[in-house]
Amino acid sequence: MDRLAALFEQLPLPEITRVLRRAAFGGIGIGVVALALSAVLGHVLVGLGACIGLSLGIVNIRLVTASVARINASPVERPKRVLASQTLSRLAITTAVVIGLLFASLQLGFGTAGGLAAFYFVLLVNLVRAILGHGASGVGA
């Protein structure tokens, strides 16, 4: 967790906002493409699951930013512990949703898991791009 915090500290706050916004819009784009492609291939539930997974990823990132802002606004005795417990809760809920959808329909569940993976991959690509661009420009060094 300290390494991730150090990674984000390299970027100014407006750049982090841009990274999250690009990841959200990228997730929406992937969801539209996945839904259309799965409809053409006759597996609409996979595309719907991908949209659900992408939505879960977007909501999770929004909840992370809200909880970090809330913890920064109020003095908390152990902020890392609070963030870790909230993260664990969100992870448990997300996992329960994916497993529940797997039991409901394999196509829907696998689509949801794939959508989550796709969203976090898009987030990772945007984050790496921002860090490399920030390091190359020398801003803040």
Query: What string of DSSP letters covers 43-68?
Result: -HHHHHHHHHHHHHHHHHHHHHHHHH
pLDDT of 82: 80
Q: What angle do CA 38, 128, 79 make, to 5 degrees?
A: 100
pLDDT: which is higher, 104 or 72: 104
Please tell me the distance from the alpha carbon of residue 71 to that of residue 18, in angstroms, as a whole number.
21
Distances (CA, A) of 5 to 11, 44, 54, 83, 108: 10, 39, 24, 12, 34
Higher pLDDT, 98 or 13: 98
Enclosing H/E stretch for 76: none
Report pLDDT for 83: 80
Of residues 38 and 7, the one with the higher pLDDT is 38
Q: Quick check: 137 pLDDT over 60?
A: no
Express each pLDDT in 75-115 by its tens digit.
Answer: 778 777 888 888 899 999 999 999 999 999 999 999 999 99
